[in-house]
Amino acid sequence: MKALSMTQPWASLVALEEKRIETRSWKTPYRGPLAIHAAKTYPGWAKEWCKEPTFAKALGNCCPELYRGSIVCVTSLLDCVRTEDIRDKLESKEIAFGDYGMARWAWILGPVVKRFGSVEFPATGHLGLWEWDERS
């Protein structure tokens, strides 16, 4: 299965179905099942985002304990469109969780079909889309 590594707290926002669009500087022709991997690193600037009201409300008080270095959920990639084509149609929450600047891509995610804990599926992430074997 294809996987995508994301920095926390964005990986958890996807797992909680609070974030339904991932923004990237690159597009992909891939459509289908997609495992979301929480990157092992959790930089200070990312932790600061947890203090923003929209993030805090969506995440509750779990920011210090967010899973890292593991698959957190499985969703699907439904579409990949230019951010400028959808920006005006989005809720403010979704805009807060992404970078909808010019020349970026919105990866439209489907519903979460599985959620995992860090103990069950630790994984080493990679740049870009990468292959993850759920059985390993």
**Structure-token pair, residue 100:** 């909808």
Per-residue model confidence (pLDDT) at position 136: 56
Per-residue model confidence (pLDDT) at position 120: 61
35-46: per-residue pLDDT in tens?
999 999 889 999
Domains of the chain: 2-131 (2.30.130.30)
Per-residue model confidence (pLDDT) at position 64: 58
4-24: per-residue pLDDT in tens?
999 999 999 999 999 999 999
Is residue 61's pLDDT more than 70? no
Is residue 31's pLDDT more than 80? yes
Is residue 27's pLDDT more than 70? yes
Place of tokens 């970026």: 104
Report the C-alpha gap between 91 and 94 in whole angstroms: 5
C-beta neighbour count of 123 within 10 angstroms? 22
Cα dihedral 8/11/16/18 (nearest 10): 90
